[in-house]
Structure 1
Amino acid sequence: MTKSYVTLAPRGILAIGGDDRVAFLQGLVTNDVTKVGPSQAVYSAFLTPQGKYLHDFTISEVDGRLLLDCEAERLADLQRRLKMYKLRSKITLEDATAAYSVTALFGEGALEAVGLTAEPGAAAPLGGGVVFTDPRLAALGARAILPRGTEVAALEDFAPADGDAYERLRLEAGVPDGSRDMIVDKAILLENNLDDLQAISWQKGCYMGQELTARTRYRGLVRKRLMPVTVEGSLPESGAIVMLGDKEAGEMRTGADGRALALLRLEEVERARAEGLPLVVGDATIVPVKPDWATW
């Protein structure tokens, strides 16, 4: 695969400035914001007090501001929720989507072409913005947050590609794409592998939803996992029920070109393998594949 780039139109940028920007965000999100700087980005999430998923995003730094690469359609909701906790904190919250674009860089040699290592989150300045190895998984390549209109010049060593190519890469890797794959106010981070995808710091202090997240980990309460699957037959819709015989085994999430993600009960997956039974969704059969990065 040649070095390629895709501008991710569904992504937006929420910029957080001010003297208290790090301390403010540190008390709310799942990862350690103190690590973010010119040479490091992180992946993180914002949860309900009960530990359920609300938003996920990368956090990088440009010109002394924290840039949250989040879902553009849900940016206003994230901004509103964060503003509720501002109180007397010296921060600013600005929708900077008009100023910056988010671009995915992938393919053989993509990281080396922008001077990055394969360490998740490794960052460097680029064209008035920032480029960083995907903090979730280096196999996804890098992300560049660049001033709008400068992408072609900044990425002259890359060839433009269509979004389908990056979508296939993401699905094969088994990485969720925000609220497309994680149900807002319902999804649990560990069921969706955000522990293995570097979204959670187990060493930092308190944050919103920490109690349930920690309890889920330490009590071994993870009974489902989001898994990449191959699809034999018609691609099921997101939300379609996966059956093992007459028993529900999980639900489908996003998919394309015979690949998809599915939230599956681990017990039923093991039973299907042990007994040679198919996992069925309508007229399709799915075959789960454990990602090579997964620790479960």
Structure 2
Amino acid sequence: MPSAFLSDRGVVRVSGDDAARFLQGLVTCNVETLRAGEARYGALLTPQGKIVVDFLCIGVPADEGGGFLLDTPAVLAAELAKKLGFYRLRAKVVVEDLSGPLAVTAFWGDAAPPAAEGLAVRDPRHPALGWRVIGPKPAEPPAATGDYEAHRISLGIPAGGRDFVYGDAFPHEADMDQLAGVDFAKGCYVGQEVVSRMQHRGTARTRVVPVTFADFPPMEGLDVMAGEKQVGVMGSSVHGRGLAKLRLDRVAEAAEAGEPITAGGIPLVPVKPDWARFAWPGEAEA
């Protein structure tokens, strides 16, 4: 079973009598129906509906202290804890950044749960992503390998900070609506009105989608061009596959005009991921 120590991930714990109700009113996923030992993909948004930070929200069993663990980018863990603390007010909630003592490891390639110390949960975004284990950080953590990144990219799963910019992307643009990251039936949360409007009006034209290429990988952050027109931004890539945040309507116009899509002069071929339900150029909405 392949595995990778994810040194770029941190852990924030939210516990206390009001933890579920507290998070329910803030984040995009449904926390109140989340059972112990399960995970849901979610995010904290700005009031304008843009992603502040995304995470896997994990229910902690009562015999392990209860509450929730947020598996989130390590560089944003402290800021996430601070922001949640700002919203805490009088709620009976404790927010802790546990990125020091706890570590995140990914396992994939097998249906059986990993035999590892810590709390193991299924990654809810895609079945093939496998398991996440939150456990004590080893005294000498092994170096993270590129295998997990290659696996993630092959599935077309965006990574915040690489495939979309925090503070500048709506959940639909980061495919959170496609990857079970937004519960459209739950009650109010920060930024909900904007996200719901985009969902009901179908106004999301920009998406992070897989691309393939034959040459050296384009650098992250390069403009993706169709002729003289920018159609997106290049994200992460490896082994001839990558992700790019693209305006699909402009990609469709380029295809009709016979214009190649390039990043840094390298031709790209956009590919619809197997999990996508949004309309691909030339298709009707699924």
Q: Taking structure 1 as the reference length, what is the TM-score of the superposition?
A: 0.87
Partner of 1:25: 23
Instruction: Establish whether residue 290 from structure 1 lines up as the match of residue 269 from structure 2.
Output: no
- Which digits, 9 at most, give the CA deviation of each residue in 1:85-136, with x for residues without a partner? 11000111111122221110012xx23244xxxxxxxxxxx75632111111
- Cα distance in structure 2, aligned partners of 1:71 and 1:113: 23
- Which digits, 9 at most, give the CA deviation of each residue in 1:47-100, with x for residues without a partner? 000001110001112321210001111111111111111100011111112222
Q: 1:40 to 1:150 in 2, by over 3 A?
A: farther
Partner of 2:282: none
In structure 2, what residue type is equivalent to 1:32?
A: N
- Which of 149, 174, 181 is residue 192 of structure 1 equivalent to? 174
- Cα distance in structure 1, aligned partners of 2:193 and 2:255: 34
In structure 1, what residue type is equivalent to 2:227?
A: G
Instruction: Establish whether residue 179 from structure 1 lines up as the match of residue 187 from structure 2.
Output: no
- Which digits, 9 at most, give the CA deviation of each residue in 1:158-199, with x for residues without a partner? xx9952111111111111112222212110110111001111
User: For 1:60-139, what aligned pairs fall within 5 Å after superposition?
Assistant: 60-62=58-60, 63=64, 64-107=66-109, 110-114=110-114, 129-139=118-128
What residue ranges of structure 1 are gaps of 5+ in the alignment? 115-125, 153-159
Partner of 2:4: 6
In structure 2, what residue type is equivalent to 1:241?
A: D
In structure 1, what residue type is equivalent to 2:100?
A: A
- Which digits, 9 at most, give the CA deviation of each residue in 1:263-294, with x for residues without a partner? 11111222343444310122201111100100
Partner of 1:213: 195
- Cα distance in structure 2, aligned partners of 1:5 and 1:150: 18
Structure 1 contact 234–283 (Cα < 8 Å) conserved: no
In structure 1, what residue type is equivalent to 2:119?
A: V
Structure 1 contact 35–41 (Cα < 8 Å) conserved: no
- Which of 133, 137, 149 is residue 144 of structure 1 equivalent to? 133
Instruction: Establish whether residue 229 from structure 1 lines up as the match of residue 211 from structure 2.
Output: yes
Deviation at 1:43, TM superposition (A): 0.8
Q: 1:28 to 1:232 in 2, by over 3 A?
A: same
In structure 1, what residue type is equivalent to 2:192?
A: Q
- Cα distance in structure 2, aligned partners of 1:262 and 1:54: 20
> CA-atom RMSD, angstroms?
2.0
Partner of 2:238: 256
- Cα distance in structure 2, aligned partners of 1:90 and 1:195: 30
In structure 1, what residue type is equivalent to 2:203?
A: L
- Cα distance in structure 1, aligned partners of 2:130 and 2:140: 16
Greater mean deviation of Cα atoms: 45-54 or 246-255: 246-255
In structure 1, what residue type is equivalent to 2:55?
A: F
Greater mean deviation of Cα atoms: 60-69 or 160-169: 160-169
Partner of 1:202: 184
**Aligned-residue identity in percent:** 41
Deviation at 1:250, TM superposition (A): 1.1
Structure 1 contact 101–147 (Cα < 8 Å) conserved: yes
In structure 1, what residue type is equivalent to 2:273?
A: P
Partner of 2:13: 15
Q: 1:113 to 1:183 in 2, by over 3 A?
A: closer
What residue ranges of structure 2 are gaps of 5+ in the alignment? 279-286
- Cα distance in structure 1, aligned partners of 2:218 and 2:77: 28
Q: Taking structure 2 as the reference length, what is the TM-score of the superposition?
A: 0.90
Q: 1:113 to 1:24 in 2, by over 3 A?
A: closer
Moved over 6 A (4+): none
In structure 2, what residue type is equivalent to 1:25?
A: L
Q: 1:293 to 1:257 in 2, by over 3 A?
A: same
